[in-house]
Every structure is written in structure tokens, then in C-alpha cells.
Structure 1
């Protein structure tokens, strides 16, 4: 019995040492320095060519993984990469490399103040220029697009999926007309009728600068469907990102608020084209989202190689209000498709 116990202990110890060695090796790769002569925290500023000239966009790499490089496309349009900072508490521990990226007009990137550049097709070509500059390809390149970033991710994938390894569509429907109908026919009906009447009155008058508009929307819509905490308790990275919102870009593309859509994207619809997406695709929906979770589930079946992740406690920013479900599902997808 003692001999067996000793043997078992030796095997267990050997296994533990091997695991520690693997973790150590993976960690050394993940945290290895770049080949640049000066280490700058993984920041790379990329010149982007447009019809209005060349402008710089800002990126920052977190970690190193030759097989998984996840480019994050923020929402808004016009917010910043900063609201994704919670990813730092989950992905590095799994050895997953991810890349912050402020789209043109957002955050640390140039803002040309040129409405002609607030265009979906142009942003697709911007992402492709970023991909090339960062040397991302079919062996490692994943995109996670959240909200507006999900529209951009779908549009990019439909044109350039031959350069990609996988796609994550987070909290975005594939049809803006259906998104608008969901807001009007489902979410609006959950509101207090008096509140809804006042919101409709302000919108009819196009009096969007009226502070009463957000006074009504924040407790009655944003705290229920965007991020399910009292707004006074919203995470600092979210507040910091939203405080920097490029209103010109946001209103041009989305309209004056998250309560439906009325900007340039109002008629955008790629639902019938999802069948053309062949790469592994994860679609993330949430129970309380501004986006219809049933539509999101259907999207995962329309693509050729899709998976659906449902966040039963989450809203539009489920990576904050349903973190366990969101990150467990995201990490499992990335590891499985790797």
C-alpha cells in the first residue's frame, strides 16, 4: 500500500511540474516583447488612406498568441476601445491575444471631422488596412464586433473572410429594419406609457439636445437594456468611453439615441447574406439586450458554421452585466475553433 501511495504521489508531482512548465512556457510566449527597438506597451499607430487624405488610427496589442489574435471593433459608432478594458481580466489568463483599436474618428485615433468619411464601406477598407499593418491572416485573425462593431464585422467578413480565422458578432442584429421594429414593437411597449409619450414628443420635435430626453432614456431604457446597473454605478471604462463619444459620427450613422435607429444605417440589412459566411462564427445575444435575442439565435443558424451564446442575465453590454456567461462562452469558442 505504501509503495502504491508513493508511486501515486510521484506521478501526481510529475504531472504538477509538467503543468507548471507548460504554463511557464505559454506565459513567456504570451508576454514576450515585440521586435521593436523601443518597447511602447504594444501600441502601433497605423496610417489609413482615405479619399480625403491619410489619417492615423491607434491600436494596442495585449499579449502574444501566434494562433489567436482577436481584433476588437467597438460600438457607437463613435465610442472608443476603452469600454473593452474588462477583457483584460479574462483573456490574458487564457493566453488569448487581443488588440484594442480606435476606428477613425474615435478615441486616440485622428478625427478628421469629415462627415463624408462616416461610411460603412470606407470603414471596411480601414479594417483591411489595419489587418495588413498588423500582419494578421487566416492562421490567427479573429474579429469581435460589438454593436455597431458587429455591423462592421459582418460587412468586413462578407468581403474579406478569406483573410480570417473566425468571427464573433456580439449584441448586433443582421438587419437594422428588424432592430428598429424590435425597439418599437417590443421594447417600447415595456415602458411606462407616459414616459414613452414624452419621449415620442421630444423625438417628433427633433429636440434631441433637450436634457429631458436623456433624463427619460437613461433610467427607462439605458439602465434596462444597455447596461443593467444604475448609471451611477456604471464601470469607469464605460463612462470614460461614452464621455468621448464622437457625436457627429454617432448621429450620422445611428441617429440621436440607442432607442431605435434613424441614421445612415437605418436600412442596412445583411440577413439574407449570412449564408455566405463560412468561417467559424459565434453570435452573442442577451435576454435584456436592445437587440432581439431570437434574431441573434437565428443568425447563428444562417451562417454555415455558427454557434450561439445566450447571456440570460445580460443586456447590450453583457460583458459587464453577465460576465461569467459571456467570457466562458467566448473563451470556449476561441479555444475550440483554434
Structure 2
């Protein structure tokens, strides 16, 4: 069995050892990690369930170009953006790594009522205020779930934004599920896809065979297009640190849609995109888990949009197609900053 199968079987073990089939059961995910003090700031946030702290780490200092990074999951970590420090500092772009509540270095409360889009939007607003970000300098970049959160933040607070960057995320989870099942799934060998769909129908996600097949036939093709032994260490750490209390409650277990009962099921903001007027970049990968045609359409629905296609990229295009991802994102930030967008 190769490394990638072992990795994702390990993830499955984390999810199911910590989370029962009743998604209202609370769990605690604990990870001990040493964190450098350089640029690190624990930001207090207020929630309906009490006060907590979330982790941020600033890299660089630019008064007009500050990028707050929203990681995916939900319940993953800022290490999704581990390679940004290879590209942004040389372009004089300040960026902030940030673990959302429930993730990695941030507090991890056991209250599932906290895992709502509205509460996360309010958290991002509190983080923005604490960091002193405003419409003169604040770029918000979110990938996957982070892209959802970025859209939802813009619907409510775009007056605080200078620019919005939505990476590898569609505006409808029903359309995502349709794309996964009708386009991506059939790219697998027929017998493999049939077996995966049978386990999905039976809700047999505890079966190690489920992650074993995805680890061989789905993740290296559509999540990160690298040989298993070349996966960056920060991505391996991120995957091993997924907090199931958040991830399963909101997303569920399926990689071909949102599991019935998960709180994000049915999310669709296609008709709201036209209300976003702030300069917006939508990024997609040709081999993405998300439909690149849909993401290009999103860039035409917002009032002031641009589309960036990463032709060699998948869901983590910053790692498997940095040659297109970073120049495109950097160009967008510089164009908005100079007023030439």
C-alpha cells in the first residue's frame, strides 16, 4: 500500500475514531504543535458560547497590500498556505496565516452550535478589526470552504474589502455534487467508481476501502497532482490535523457531495454573486474538484471580476500549478492596488 493510501486511511481513522454517526455528538481534537512567536498574535473573539482565541501570524508589512488567508475544510489549518512565504514576500505583499476557531493552533471548543456560516463570518470580522484591516488595504483570500466563507463575508461586509480572491470554490454545493458525480467520478475506472458509489449509497464511510480508493484514484488527480512521496510536509500535517468536530458536522464524510445531515447541505449563493461589487478574482484549476467552467461563470456574475485558470492545477493549485497561481494572484493584487484593475 502506498503512502497516499496510508495517509488518507489515517484521516478516515481520525474522523471515525473521534466522531460517531450522530453529528450532534461533541468531540475534542487535540494537537500539540510548537509555534514561533515571530509575527504570531492570538486574537480574542466573542461568540454566543463565550470568549475564545484564534491564531494569526503576520508575514511582511505593507500598508496597502494585506492578505488575510481563509483555509478550507471546515476544520483544516493555515498550513494549506504554507508555500505563500516563497512568493508573496518577494512581491512586497503582506499576508496573514489564520486558523479559524476549532482549527489547529486556535481554541477548539466542543460546542457544535458554533459551527455555522454566520458565526464564522462574524469571527472573520472580529479578526479584521483586531488586525486593523480596512478598505484601503484588506484583501481576503479563501480556498474551498475558505472561498465559501469569503463570499459570505463579502455579502455582509464588502465595504471593508479592497479585494476578494475566491480560490477553487463553486457558488452552489448542489452543482458541485453534480460535477463530482457526473464528470469526475466517471474518470475513474468504471468498477472503482461503482464501488465508491455503492459505499456512498450505503453510508459505509467507515469502510477503509472508501479512502483507499479515493487515495489512489481521486486525490492525486483532483486534490493535489503530485506523486504521493512528493506531497509537501505542511499539507500532510494539515490533513492529519483535520478537526472532525467541525469538518464532519458541516461537510460530512462524502467526497462526492455533502453528506445528508451536514449543515452546509443545500448551500447555494448563485443569485447573490451579482451583489459583490468589490474587485474579485476567481481562481480555478483544470483538474479541480470544482468545475472550472462554473468558476469562470462566477467571475462574470460579480460586478467587477476576473478569472484565473490554472491549467495544470487541481484543488490545491498553489502547490501543483504555482507557475500560474501565484503570478495571477499577485497581478490581481497589484492591479487593484495601483488602481488599474
Offset of residue 283 of structure 1? 0.2
> 2:238 corresponds to which residue?
241
> 1:181 corresponds to which residue?
178
8 Å contact from structure 1 (residues 72, 101) kept in 2? yes
> 2:10 corresponds to which residue?
none
Offset of residue 205 of structure 1? 2.4
Offset of residue 200 of structure 1? 1.7
> 1:108 corresponds to which residue?
105
> 2:194 corresponds to which residue?
197
Task: Show the 5 A alignment for 1:1-338.
Answer: 40-262=37-259, 263-338=262-337
Offset of residue 85 of structure 1? 1.0
Greater CA drift, 225-234 or 69-78: 225-234
Higher RCO (Cα < 8 Å, 6 or more apart): 2
State the secondary structure of the residue aligned to 1:46: strand
Q: How many residues align?
A: 300
Rounded to whole Å, the distance in 1 between the matches of 2:86 and 2:255 is 27
Rounded to whole Å, the distance in 1 between the matches of 2:183 and 2:201 is 20
Rounded to whole Å, the distance in 1 between the matches of 2:111 and 2:223 is 28
Offset of residue 42 of structure 1? 1.0
> 1:19 corresponds to which residue?
none
Offset of residue 201 of structure 1? 2.1
Gaps of 5+ in 1: 1-38
Rounded to whole Å, the distance in 2 between the matches of 1:250 and 1:80 is 11
* C-alpha spacing 1:258/1:268, structure 2 compared with 1 (3 Å): same
Greater CA drift, 86-95 or 44-53: 44-53
Give the structure-1-normalised TM-score: 0.87
Gaps of 5+ in 2: 1-35
Rounded to whole Å, the distance in 2 between the matches of 1:106 and 1:220 is 28
8 Å contact from structure 1 (residues 139, 165) kept in 2? yes
Offset of residue 232 of structure 1? 3.0
Rounded to whole Å, the distance in 2 between the matches of 1:267 and 1:176 is 6
Rounded to whole Å, the distance in 2 between the matches of 1:193 and 1:266 is 27
Rounded to whole Å, the distance in 2 between the matches of 1:132 and 1:257 is 35
